[in-house]
Amino acid sequence: MLITFSDFTSIPVFWLQIASAVIWVLLILLIAWVVNRFANEPEIVRKIVHIGTGNVILIAWWLDIPASVGITASILASAITLLSYRLPILPGINSVGRQSLGTFFYSVSFGILVAWFWYLQQPQYAALGILIMTWGDGLAALIGQRFGTHKYKVFGTEKSWEGSLTMMLVGYVVSSLILVGTQGNSWQTWAVSLIVAVIATALEAVSFLGIDNLTVPLGSAAVAFFLSNLALS
């Protein structure tokens, strides 16, 4: 049966929005499965899921997906991740070689930011917080594990300067792209981006039990929001 363009236009926008987000997440999971199947790199698989699924916030922002959808997805994901710590539902994602609630905090942070900034009609800050967590924290972990030769400890947790510098650089790039794109090019915007990057890096450095997946996105988004409003007032 031939599917025409009119068939798609007859589908309610709401379902097209959800379908776009679901297709993206399924695509990321498929890529992770293929990498896990042929490369057997558990940490790479985790970061593919960590970084890839986080980008769904851009789809939610650009397609103006209702906040109720994001909050509901966050609640369901949080419940599943909690169960997965008891049952082997997500063994490849939760297996980090240490005690961590990072996957749970990851899901919770998404719902909180969507509820907060969709209500304020400023979803760019939710995207900023999530993307700093997904790209910054994700790449910092990979760089730190592979190239982190200069170590330091915070509250008994070992970090590397290479990983922290990666976190700061990525946080600055993400913040700058979003803030300049939504607020315009000004020295205040670049300064806010730098402050956000420094604070996000500090929050990641003092994390334990995976709580950086909550503190980094919430802290980054809050600092960007309040400083941006202060600079623009």
The 10s digit of each residue's pLDDT in 52-73 is: 889 999 999 999 999 999 999 9
Q: Report how far residue 137's alpha carbon sits from residue 142's, in angstroms, rounded to the nearest whole number.
A: 9
* CB atoms closer than 10 angstroms to residue 43: 14
Rounded average pLDDT over 13-21: 80
Q: Report how far residue 184's alpha carbon sits from residue 158's, in angstroms, rounded to the nearest whole number.
A: 38
Average pLDDT, rounded, for the chain: 84
Scanning 120-186, the segments in alpha helix (DSSP H) are 123-131, 138-147, 161-183
Q: Residue 3 above 50 pLDDT?
A: no
Mention every residue, 6+ apart, whose C-beta is less than 8 A from residue 114: 57, 60, 67, 70, 71, 74, 123, 126
31-40, 163-172, 216-225: least confidently modelled range: 31-40
* CB atoms closer than 10 angstroms to residue 46: 23
**pTM above threshold 0.95:** no
Q: How confident is the model at residue 84 (pLDDT cuts 50, 70, 90)?
A: confident
Higher pLDDT, 4 or 193: 193
What pLDDT does residue 2 have?
A: 46
What pLDDT does residue 14 have?
A: 74
Task: State which of 2-11, 44-53, 125-134 shows the largest mean pLDDT.
Answer: 125-134
Q: Report how far residue 205's alpha carbon sits from residue 207's, in angstroms, rounded to the nearest whole number.
A: 6
Task: State which of 92-96, 153-157, 206-210 shows the largest mean pLDDT.
Answer: 206-210
Tell which residue, 232, 168, 155, has the closest CA to residue 200.
168
Q: Is the dihedral of CA 90, 18, 25, 72 positive or negative?
A: negative
What pLDDT does residue 4 have?
A: 47
Mention every residue, 6+ apart, whose C-beta is less than 8 A from residue 43: 141, 142, 145
What pLDDT does residue 100 have?
A: 63
